[in-house]
């Protein structure tokens, strides 16, 4: 069965890049351009993994993650923050979110899918 | 009999004055040994009574008082004159740093014997030079008019006149008994309108200050002293000032009268400086905060488009969605190389900023340097063979582990090694040497390449300086590798230096790193 992944990123180019890489690797990809849509999609589709930008237009990706961690259906989905906030403050912010990972932008397109797959049970 | 009381009394009077004035004051015997010292002296110079009294003045506090100019004053000038006024000495004191001190001294022949006592008042005028300039002339004039008659009183009078801090002695009715010369100068009043007057009536009643009344009439009768009482007041003659008041109340031996000694220090300038310093600190802190916020934003904003540039180029180059012709493939590879270069620049600039603002975090561990150096040489093997270079390694068998941040040490060494390769001629020689020296290890990365012209020796650490030669391409480096490496070495408590005999004569970079980290984590 194809693995299902939700990508939340407000930058259309970066969203497309991640989608391409994942689809080429055989994932089924759901996209959202803001946190609200992302949360709704996560609840509806229950993907195997969520890739989340941190600076989103409506709220921070970490805030969205906290909401999902309260959600009965979505609380166990691993969340990988794919973010350009790679400085200490940014890393600190996501440290306390359970079952989460971190990939800094710019991503390495050759290892990206492998890094993601490691988080899927 | 009468004389004994006089001496005791004057002695007590003198001691009280010494302890009332905030200006550091020191009394020396004729051998220049310390007889007594005011409490402010201890505070100001951060010394203890035990290490002060009985000592030769030059030996005080780690010999920090062994100042040529002071020797000249005490040994040459003072034996010829009985006093000196306002001798400026600039000196770097061990405990308090570089200071300009104003020295005032009086030499007093003791009544009872032949011994002499030297009174030395020390004023720190580093921050107050301006005020003092205008006062110089008047003080000397007034000084000449003062002749003391009573030998017993002379000691006390001398002290009063030695200190530059305005000092006033009041009787129990708060009438002025005597006043220091500096008081006249500072408050611009004459002796005639001062002595015998009620303190509140002095100089057009400018001393009729509610807070001073409270101090003298309410507090002082209960306590015998008060220290560092701040009074803010608009004086008729000298304008709005903040004064620091210190007082002692002395019961005279011979009678029931009390004498109140009041030392007045103008701390207006000090307060202003203090305020300005706090403001400056606030501004600096805000600026630091704004800077790190700016850097975090910059980092984010640059990485976001770079993610697209590098990412899509890689996807194209990998021909994920179809083949490219040779030219297309070459061009898209150029984009990848430039994109990675840009990313390296961003990372190095941010690292430089982090080091400079003291925000670079260190993850210390025990590093097996021998292995690490071999590892780095393997990492560089590819670029070394591409240029047909010969690499020699001389790593001491007994090279110890060091306590350092692994990633940073690797970054430093890789930087230096790639510089050696980059600036070498095809077929040249490079190498790394490492050994232990005392409590440090020394690593030298050398090459026989293009070297550094003497006039560029300083510039190589400035950042973005790159030598254009046929042997190095402009796009190869960021010009930040060496400055950043130097900063990272220094962050570890080590040193980085560059030696080159000149252009085309090779370069060696010497790095020392402490075996045990001096960095506080």
Contacts of B294 (CB under 8 A, 6+ apart): none
Q: Which of B289, B311, B321, B349 to mutate to test the interface with A (most CBs of A within 10 A)?
A: B311
Shortest distance between the Cα of A103 and any Cα of chain B, in A, equals 12
Superfamily assignment of B165-266 in CATH? PAS domain (3.30.450.20)
Q: What is the ipTM of this complex?
A: 0.91
Q: Do B300 and A21 touch (CB under 8 A)?
A: no
CA distance B178 to B191: 9
Q: Token pair 């001190």 is at which residue?
A: B101
Binned at pLDDT 50, 70 and 90, residue A18 comes out as very high
Cβ atoms of A79 and A32 within 8 Å: the answer is no
Which residues on chain A are in Cβ contact (under 8 Å) with B320? 20, 24
Question: Six-digit token pair at A36?
Answer: 């609200």
Q: Which 346-375 residues of chain B touch chain A by CB within 8 A?
A: 350, 359, 361
- Which homologous superfamily does the CATH classification assign to the domain defined by B1-142? PAS domain (3.30.450.20)
Fold classification of B364-514 (topology level): Heat Shock Protein 90 (3.30.565)
**How many degrees, rounded to 5, is the angle at CA B208 between CA B203 and CA B211?**
140
Cβ–Cβ gap B315/A104 under 8 Å: no
> Would the pLDDT of B187 be above 60?
yes
Residues in chain B within 8 Å Cβ distance of A110: 314, 318
Q: Sketch the domain layout of chain A as residue ranges.
A: 4-117
Q: Is the pLDDT of residue B134 over 80?
A: no
More confident: B6 or B483: B483
Name the CATH code of domain B273-356 (choices 1.20.144, 1.10.3470, 2.60.98, 1.10.287): 1.10.287
The Cα A52–Cα A71 span in angstroms is: 16
Q: How confident is the model at residue B149 (pLDDT cuts 50, 70, 90)?
A: very low
- Between B228 and A34, the higher pLDDT residue: A34
Q: Which fold has domain A4-117?
A: Rossmann fold (3.40.50)
Q: Read off the pLDDT of each residue in B289-316 and give the average, rounded to a whole number.
A: 90
Q: Is the pLDDT of residue B192 over 90?
A: no
- Lowest average pLDDT, out of B111-120, B190-199, B341-350, B389-398, goes to B111-120
pLDDT computed for residue B411 by the predictor: 93
Burial code (b: 16+ CB inside 10 Å, e: under 16) for B400-423 equals bebbbbeebbbbbbbbbbbbbbbb
User: Do the domains B364-514 and B165-266 match in fold?
Assistant: no
Residue predicted with more confidence, B91 or B15: B91
Q: How confident is the prediction for chain B on average, in pLDDT?
A: 81
A4-18, B435-449, B459-473: segment of lowest average pLDDT: B459-473
Looking at the predicted structure, is the pLDDT value of residue B279 above 70?
A: yes
B4-10 long-range contacts, CB within 8 A, separation 24+: B5/B253, B5/B254, B6/B152, B7/B111, B7/B112, B7/B152, B8/B253, B9/B152, B9/B252, B9/B253, B9/B254, B10/B152, B10/B153, B10/B155, B10/B156
User: pLDDT tens digits for B380-417?
Assistant: 898 999 999 999 999 999 899 999 999 999 999 999 99
Name the residue facing A105 among B304, B321, B339 (closest C-beta): B304
In the prediction, which pLDDT does B110 show? 59
Output the pTM of the full model.
0.56
* Rounded distance between C-alpha atoms, residue B33 and residue B117, angstroms: 10
Chain segment B35-52, per-residue pLDDT in tens = 878 777 777 777 777 778
Residue B215: pLDDT over 90: no
Alpha-carbon distance B342 to B329, whole Å? 20
Q: Is the pLDDT of residue A56 over 80?
A: yes
Residue B111 banded pLDDT, cuts 50, 70, 90:
low
Per-domain boundaries in chain B: 1-142, 165-266, 273-356, 364-514
State whether residue A89 sits within 8 Å of chain B by CB: yes
Rounded to the nearest angstrom, the minimum Cα separation between A13 and chain B is: 6
Q: What are phi and psi of B153, to 5 degrees?
A: -80, -20
């Amino acid at each position: 069965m194809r693995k299902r992944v939700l990508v939340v990123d407000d930058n259309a180019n970066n969203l497309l890049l991640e989608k391409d890489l994942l689809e080429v690797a055989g994932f089924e990809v759901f996209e959202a351009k803001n946190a609200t849509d992302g949360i709704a999609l996560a609840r509806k589709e229950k993907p195997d993994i969520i890739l989340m930008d941190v600076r989103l237009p409506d709220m921070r990706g970490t805030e969205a993650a906290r909401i999902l961690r309260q959600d009965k259906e979505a609380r166990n989905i691993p969340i990988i923050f794919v973010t350009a906030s790679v400085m200490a403050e940014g890393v600190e912010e996501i440290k306390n979110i359970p079952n989460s990972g971190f990939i800094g932008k710019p991503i390495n397109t050759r290892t990206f899918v492998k890094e993601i797959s490691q988080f899927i049970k | 009999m009468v004389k004994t009381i006089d001496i005791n009394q004057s002695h007590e009077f003198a001691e009280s004055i010494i302890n009332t004035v905030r200006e550091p004051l020191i009394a020396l015997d004729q051998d220049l040994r310390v007889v007594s010292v005011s409490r402010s002296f201890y505070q100001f110079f951060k010394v203890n009574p035990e290490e002060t009294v009985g000592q030769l003045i030059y030996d005080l506090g780690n010999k920090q008082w062994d100042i040529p100019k002071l020797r000249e004053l005490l040994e040459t000038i003072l034996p010829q004159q009985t006093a000196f006024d306002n001798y400026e000495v600039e000196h770097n004191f061990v405990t308090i740093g570089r200071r300009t001190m104003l020295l005032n001294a009086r030499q007093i022949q003791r009544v009872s014997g032949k011994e002499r006592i030297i009174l030395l008042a020390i004023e720190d005028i580093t921050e107050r030079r301006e005020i003092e300039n205008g006062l110089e002339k008047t003080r000397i004039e007034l000084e000449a008019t003062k002749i003391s008659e009573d030998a017993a009183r002379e000691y006390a009078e001398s002290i009063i006149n030695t200190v530059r801090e305005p000092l006033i002695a009041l009787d129990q009715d708060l009438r002025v008994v005597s006043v220091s010369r500096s008081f006249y100068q500072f408050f611009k009043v004459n002796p005639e309108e001062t002595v015998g007057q009620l303190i509140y009536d002095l100089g057009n009643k400018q001393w009729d200050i509610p807070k001073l009344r409270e101090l003298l009439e309410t507090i002082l009768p209960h306590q015998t002293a008060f220290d560092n009482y701040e009074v803010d007041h608009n004086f008729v003659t000298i304008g709005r000032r903040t004064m620091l008041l210190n007082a002692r109340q002395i019961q005279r031996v011979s009678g029931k009268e009390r004498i109140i000694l009041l030392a007045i220090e103008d701390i207006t300038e000090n307060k202003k400086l203090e305020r300005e310093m706090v403001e400056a600190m606030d501004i600096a802190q805000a600026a630091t905060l704004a800077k790190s916020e700016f850097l975090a934003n910059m980092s984010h904003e640059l990485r976001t488009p770079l993610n697209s540039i590098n990412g899509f180029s890689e996807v194209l180059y990998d021909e994920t969605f179809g083949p490219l012709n040779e030219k297309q493939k070459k061009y898209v590879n150029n984009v990848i190389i430039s994109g990675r270069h840009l990313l390296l620049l961003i990372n190095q600039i941010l690292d430089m900023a982090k080091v400079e603002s003291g925000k670079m975090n260190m993850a210390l561990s025990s590093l097996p340097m021998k292995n690490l150096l071999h590892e780095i040489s393997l990492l560089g093997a590819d670029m070394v063979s591409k240029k047909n270079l010969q690499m020699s390694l001389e790593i001491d068998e007994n090279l110890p582990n060091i306590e350092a941040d692994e990633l940073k040490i690797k970054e430093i060494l890789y930087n230096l090694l790639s510089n050696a390769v980059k600036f070498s001629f095809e077929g040249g020689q490079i190498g790394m040497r490492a050994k232990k020296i005392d409590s440090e290890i020394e690593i030298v990365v050398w090459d026989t390449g293009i070297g550094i012209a003497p006039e560029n020796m300083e510039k190589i650490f400035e950042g973005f300086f790159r030598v254009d030669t046929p042997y190095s391409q402009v796009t190869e480096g960021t010009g930040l590798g060496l400055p950043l490496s130097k900063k990272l070495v220094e962050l570890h408590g080590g040193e980085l230096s560059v030696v080159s005999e000149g252009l085309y004569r090779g370069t060696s970079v010497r790095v020392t790193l402490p075996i045990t980290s001096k960095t506080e984590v």
